[in-house]
Every structure is written in C-alpha cells, then in structure tokens.
Amino acid sequence: MGAGIHLPRALIRRARGLRIGTLAGCLAALACIDFVDPNIPDAGGAAVISAIAVFSDRGTADVRATLNPGLDVTGVRRPVADPGLLVNDTVILPDRIQRDGDHLYEAFYAFDPATQTVTVEFLAPSVAGLAAPRPSASLSGVRRIGPDTLRMVSGSDLLLRLTTEPGTSAPAPLSRQWFLTLAAATTEFRLGGNGPPPDTILIPARFIPAGDSLEVRLIYQQLAEAEPPPGDYIGIFTFDVRLFWTVRVDAGQQP
C-alpha cells in the first residue's frame, strides 16, 4: 500500500498562476505531463507542498510529500526554517533533500483505529521569507459500521454500512471520489462515484463474483488546496481512506 504525489517541476513553477481546477485536473489525470521551460523564471514564485496521507482501517498510515520552497525575489533558494510536516499528532521529517532544494517525505506508521478517528489534519513545514502562514487542511473520512468479517448466503445481495466522521473538511475539497472493489479468486467487480460514498452500499447478487470468499475494499479520496493570503505558499493535500471487509459466502438458499 502506498501512494505519492510528485508534481512536474514546470507545474510547481506555475502553481501560483494556475487556476485551482486546472491544478486538480493535472493531479487527477496521469497524462498531464509538462516539461521544464527554461524561460519561466523561478524567482519570487510560491512555495508548494504536495502531500498525501493514506489511512487504512487496519491501523496503518502511509504519508508521502514533496516540498518545493522556491526562490526568493533575488533568485536564492528559500531556507526551510522548520522541516517538520505535521499529520495529526505525528511530526514527519524529510526522508531526503534533493540538490534543487526539494524536500521529500516518506513515512509509514501504525495507529490504533479503535481510538483515532479517521480524520487527517495537515500542517505544512515552515519556509523562511514568506508572508503567508503555513498551509493547513483538515479532512474528514469515513468509518466502517460493524465487523470487518461478514457472512452472506450465495445468491443474496451484499449490504455494506458506513458512517461519515464528524466535523467539516476545511478547506472544502476540490474533488471527492470513492471506489469499491469486490474480489474473488479469479474475478472482480468495481463501482464508484464522485462525492463521498453513501452510508449504505447495496451490491445486487448478480454483480457479486462467484466464490466462497470475497475481499472487499473501499477507497475514499479527497483533494484540497490551501492558499492562505497573500498566496506565496500553496498546500495541495490528499486524504485517502481505505476500508476492508472479508465476506464468507455460504452455499444454499436464504431462509
């Protein structure tokens, strides 16, 4: 399990001038590729942090991020005053720093899903020489209702229940998508949609792969952008929640 966001350098250089919809579209579409244009000046451009946190209801968190501190108006690379990326109560330090000054973050850690809500709060590292405060975001996820192992009778419908975590996401996400996969030994069924997943997901029997056991995975992903005034530090934050079920399928007719 793992995911990462690495924005093309020309996209980072143009981030301040891009409209939000364009930037979100480039992140969503893997075919959005741009190459470095030497005629685009870096001096005075915005600093950009792009981060993704993948939280699993199995109690694991996978965080990846890239910080580009940018250049000041004189063309000098801005120093990073405090490199710590805060994700909930966990401070994540750079895994490595590139020659061009980009700070790369990778962290994988465990948490107790029974006591920690599936909500993520990001606070970007501190970059010197910027007027804007550190970008931040708070994104609420979803939680499974009931056990992670279910039983059903072959030929019946499958019902999955969820609950949305309390609280309001801020800033409001630019995009929300969910994806559900039911996998048997040799076949899969997938569905999804835009927006948050419904509290009740009913999968008709005709769509359920044949087999005596199913592995079910729900992915709920949100993308938000924070650009506090005057806009010289931009945060692009993605929160990916993953829920899992194991479904045992019994042969026979429903009672």
pLDDT given at position 129: 94
Cis peptide before 94 (omega within 30 of 0): no
Average pLDDT over residues 95-102: 94
pLDDT of 200 over the 90 cut: yes
Does residue 97 contact residue 144 with C-beta atoms inside 8 Å? no
251 falls in which pLDDT band (50, 70, 90)? confident
Q: Which residue has better confidence, 251 or 209?
A: 209
pLDDT given at position 166: 67
116 falls in which pLDDT band (50, 70, 90)? low
Kindly list the structural domains of the chain, giving each domain's residue range(s) and its CATH number in brackets, ordered by start.
Answer: 9-250 (2.60.40.10)
pLDDT given at position 191: 95
pLDDT given at position 117: 66
Q: Specify the pTM.
A: 0.81
pLDDT of 41 over the 90 cut: no
The amino acid that residue 152 corresponds to is M
Instruction: Label residue 189 exposed, middle or buried (CB < 10 Å: 0-12, 13-18, 19+).
Output: middle
253 falls in which pLDDT band (50, 70, 90)? low
How many Å apart are CA 230 and CA 214, to the nearest integer? 51
User: Considering only 38-52, 90-104, 106-120, 159-173, which range has the smallest mean pLDDT?
Assistant: 38-52
